[in-house]
Amino acid sequence: MEIDTTPTQPLPPSSLSLSLPPRPDRRLANQLRPPLCELGPLNRADGSARFAHGRTSVLAAVYGPGAPRFSRKERIEGAAIEVTIHPHKGAGTSSDKEKEGVVKALLEAAILLDRFPRTMIHVICQVCEDDGGLLACLMNASVLAVINAGIDMKYVPLAVSMVFASPPSSAVGAPSSTPLPSTSTTYLLLDPLQEEETQSTAIVTVAISSVDTNVLSYQSMGMMMPVQLFEAIDVAKSATKALLTFMRMTIEEHSRQTLKLR
């Protein structure tokens, strides 16, 4: 299922998004790429989902809750979570291991683990393509696969990625009355392309709760000021509202299709 998203609420004036030239894919600074989601694409998994933002795509599968293969991984008080990420090309790197830890921590906080004692929930993510915003895509794909597996959660985590970048020396096509940003100013781009990540000064991925819009986690790389982080969190809260609407539509449509097949 695919849906076009409208731009989220305008960014704060400090981002100077209106004076910037168009992005490579013609989006506004505060606009998500149209997401795409498919629930249950894998027959042999207990739950699965394919999630994509633009060309960035992840296929996630959930196995369990079930008996762990090794007794040392068994937890009496609740289910144990294991996350494995397979990169698009080549062998896994230390960066992939870090992403596994981030996704694992997010799922451990969201899933009602005490309902599944002495079991293991294994989440496997295959990166189909990476064109920016990969960590957020991994999070969203994993969460949707857990939902498809029928595993109870306290809330639905939703994640978006952003970058801070230095503006060009001149903004092509900007109105003459619009002051151009100085080279010392940075601006915020939502749901970045890989090209934009490469040129950025900082990359931020924020996960928001669907229940109370609280920040569940944030991961950052690069240099930024505290005020910039707060700006990124505000934008993430707005953007995840559009994602939550999209996910609800996807789940409802999948439920209708499943009922028709019965």
Q: What's the pLDDT tens digit per position in 199-221?
A: 999 999 999 999 999 999 999 99
* Between residues 18 and 116, the one the model is more confident about: 116
Give me the sheet containing 202-209, strands edge to edge.
187-190, 157-165, 202-209, 215-222
Q: Is the dihedral of CA 190, 194, 199, 203 positive or negative?
A: positive
β 215-222/202-209 pair status: antiparallel
Per-residue pLDDT band at 261 (split at 50, 70, 90): confident
* Between residues 161 and 167, the one the model is more confident about: 161
- pLDDT, tens digit (0-9, with 9 covering 90-100), for 96-142: 999 999 999 999 999 999 999 999 999 999 999 999 999 999 999 99
Per-residue pLDDT band at 50 (split at 50, 70, 90): very high
Per-residue pLDDT band at 20 (split at 50, 70, 90): low
Per-residue pLDDT band at 167 (split at 50, 70, 90): low
Q: Is the Cβ–Cβ distance between 88 and 129 less than 8 Å? A: yes
Q: How far is CA 184 from CA 24, 171, 196, in A?
A: 22, 14, 18
Model confidence pTM above 0.75 = yes
Per-residue pLDDT band at 260 (split at 50, 70, 90): confident
β 120-129/80-86 pair status: parallel
Q: Is the Cβ–Cβ distance between 218 and 229 less than 8 Å? A: yes
